[in-house]
Amino acid sequence: MDRPAVALVLVSHSRALAEGAAELAGQMAPDVLLLPAGGTDDGRLGTGFDVVSGAIEQAVSEGRSAVLLTDLGSALLTAESVLEMADADVVARVRLADAPFVEGAVAAAVAAQDGAALEDVADAARAAALTFGGAARHPDAPAGAGEGGETSGWAAREPGAAGEQTGTPGAAGSPGALRTQAAGVAAGGRPMAPAQTAEPRHAPDAHVATGMGPEAGADRSGATGGGGTGMPTARGTAVLRNRFGLHARPAAHLARTAAAFRSAIEVNGVDVRSVLSLVSLGAVGGTHLVVTATGADAPTAVRAIVAELEEGFGEA
């Protein structure tokens, strides 16, 4: 395939750190141009103007845009200095993302791999700061949630986020929806809500329930599909077959699969298109997972996600 139109530049005080972050993100987004810009011009710890400038120049070549992530304050200052000296055409195609260095790189890389636009890739990086803030056990979660191979699926979510469609159409966790989520949390909104509970495994094809509206999507946990919109809904269950669990590589694989569909898709209450949200579930091998979708291609989407979970991502 053609290389995605948005590249990433990872500016760090350490060359090894920048290269490591780029290597990790590259496992999730093999087609994205990831450029480490670590260390000084002579190889010491620090940030070098020429190192950063060269990486940005390469990133925006061939008509690409670029998102920059930095590890510490002085790295940000160096990046800003480079952009102050750059041509207006370059500056217009670059975004500095105030985001966690590693998690932001992974989230942005996956968004770029899926063909997201520049602003959405930058927003995906910024939203990564929220993902693991909601991954810890919620104080109102049932006792023992997340223990003994079970997964509670508590994660930072905000009512109304699923309604904004930016980036991937209909995606509850699309970058635009994450902007809404971030604004709600910052304004003192409810930061967490319980996800759907898991149920025992059934044969994937036999346990994909479909319908229209909330009644058709209702499950035993009380969650409903469709939200009263009258959109097609579907629901299925699967057992996570790979022994290493839902770590970054299979999570990224699921996110890329979900990108092919228009429906909003969730696994245990978190958006399938968000690698970090999937990883935050802490799902280990043998965990029972609930897949739900709302949208025109919901049944097909659920079957595809259930099938991948059951196949084990080559690690079963």
- Please identify every residue annotated as catalytic: 13
- pLDDT category of residue 293 using cuts at 50, 70 and 90: very high
Tell me which of 16 and 285 has the higher pLDDT. Answer: 16
Q: How far apart are CA 165 and CA 160, in angstroms?
A: 11
pLDDT band at 290 (very low <50, low <70, confident <90, very high): very high
Distance, in Å, from the CA atom of 77 to the CA atom of 68, rounded to the nearest integer, reads 12
Is-contact 138 194, C-beta < 8 A? yes
Is residue 39 scored above 60 in pLDDT? Answer: yes
The C-alpha atoms of residue 154 and residue 150 are separated, in whole angstroms, by 12
Cβ(8)–Cβ(108) below 8 Å:
yes
The CATH number that domain 135-314 falls under is 3.30.1340.10
**Helix 298-311 and helix 248-258, axial crossing angle in degrees, nearest 10:** 160
Residue 185 reports pLDDT greater than 50: no
Mean pLDDT for the stretch of residues 128-141? 51
Percentage of the residues of the chain whose pLDDT score is greater than 90: 43
Which pLDDT value is given to residue 248?
79
Residues 6+ apart with CB under 8 A from 173: 161, 270, 271, 272, 273, 274, 277
Q: Where residue 167 falls among pLDDT bands split at 50, 70, 90?
A: very low
pLDDT number for residue 312: 86
Residue with tokens 């920059």: 68
Q: Where are the domains of the chain?
A: 6-131, 135-314
CA Rg value for the chain: 20
pLDDT computed for residue 269 by the predictor: 92
Render pLDDT for 108-123 as a digit per residue (tens, 0 to 9): 998 898 888 999 999 9
Q: Which residue from 3, 57, 53, 74 is spatially nearest to 32, judged by alpha carbons?
A: 3
Closest to 238 measured CA to CA, from 198, 210, 276, 265: 198
Measured between alpha carbons, how far is 263 from 76 in angstroms, rounded to an integer?
Answer: 37
pLDDT at 132: 55
Average pLDDT, the chain: 74
Superfamily of domain 6-131: Phosphotransferase system, mannose-type IIA component (3.40.50.510)
